[in-house]
Chains A and B, each alone.
Chain A
Amino acid sequence: MSIEHRDDTGDRFGMWLFLYTEVILFSGLFILYAVSLSRFPGDFAQGSHQLNIYLGSINTIVLLTSSLTIALAVSAIQMNRIRQCLTLCGVTVVLALVFLVNKYFEWSAEISHGIYPGSQHLAEMGAGVSAFFNLYYFTAGLHGLHVLIGGSLIGVVAVLTARGKITSERYTLLENSALFWHLVDLVWIFLFPLYYLIL
């Protein structure tokens, strides 16, 4: 049953629809953020000041750079530069790992201070601070899960490229993975100011 269904535009179209569902998925958490912020502006600022802005900034730079490298990888495959494409994919995966390791240290520090969902310490700090950190953990956690999935996806795509399954003639899978990675980046671009900067 070898139905030849080649339809690159269709594949990209489907990916954009999927990205839209991801936006909606995160928007549920953003709605919760907006409502809680309007109820507890003071507590939210207090919670925000306890986050480590340096680790957050480093992670922002890391993710932005990784978005650049994956975009360059797509350009490289279009120009049939396989080695360059593989290197760029590799750099993207490494940057994804750097992000997660950074996140690990950031969260360990916070948890060691007794700040985690359901903790006694958090309960004592007041309802608004509690809400802030609960949302922070769930939103950043869901985003971290997406970093993990996106990084793995790019790893798989790199292997397929090395095996010659993805070529300059047929690179929609790489392109779609890159689109997913840009979304992961984009979500962070909203998370970072909302939780670390503006309050």
Chain B
Amino acid sequence: MISIKNLNFNYGKNKVFSNLDLNIECGKIYGLLGENGVGKTTLLKLISGLLPVKKGSCTVCEHIPYNREVQFLESICYVPEEISCPSISLIDYGRNRGEFYPAFNMDEYIGYLTQFELKSDMNFQKISYGQKKKAIIAFAFATNTKILLMDEPSNGLDIPSKSQLRKIISANASEERCIIISTHQVRDLENIIDPIIILDKDAVLLNASVEEISRKLSFRFSDRESADALHNEQSIGGYISVEENITGSDDNVNIEALFNATIKNRKRIQTIFNSK
């Protein structure tokens, strides 16, 4: 569905990607993680055609994103971290913009708005940042596009809304749809995102399903740090130790600990995941 090969990108002298390779398939909810400035938003912008590829290739459903052909734009929806809204009611926003998406469903849009406790006659300019974000997310899901890109969707949402967001994301996962979520708030979306992509400067450190991560790494809770662990994460009442799974244990993946373990042990993690 999305194929990135030898991708190079830079902002002036600031190199962001060099020879990046990544394949993204449909029917999954990808979690895109990475430290600040590694290029998560840039990657989403390259996929959505908002930025041109400098060298290498990026194809999305056989389209070159930067050409912004109508068929491509009809199949993709991008929810940026910071949003801009016109001065109209939420229902008019859906009416005006939904017409451009062949699979847009107005009833679904109104349904999502209701789930997020938003009234359709509310004016975009007169609601809070979190409410705007919820309305844009509601619209994005109602477009029913094949690809949905979301940059920090849980930022600015209150606790009940985060729960609603999880429900909506889970309900919208389908074999035909690919959802990519870039986030720092991993706990908000834990148990939803699968596979997990950890991006680093110049490389994809990890692109693996939760099942594969669980098979290759163990996440054990103990009252003291483990000397053999790739990473020990302090937690309430003890430590979560991330180790290479040699015993075949089946632990729940702690994404935060995984992320920190990966960042601290770049080469080791790549070796573990590249071995069969």
A and B interact physically:
no
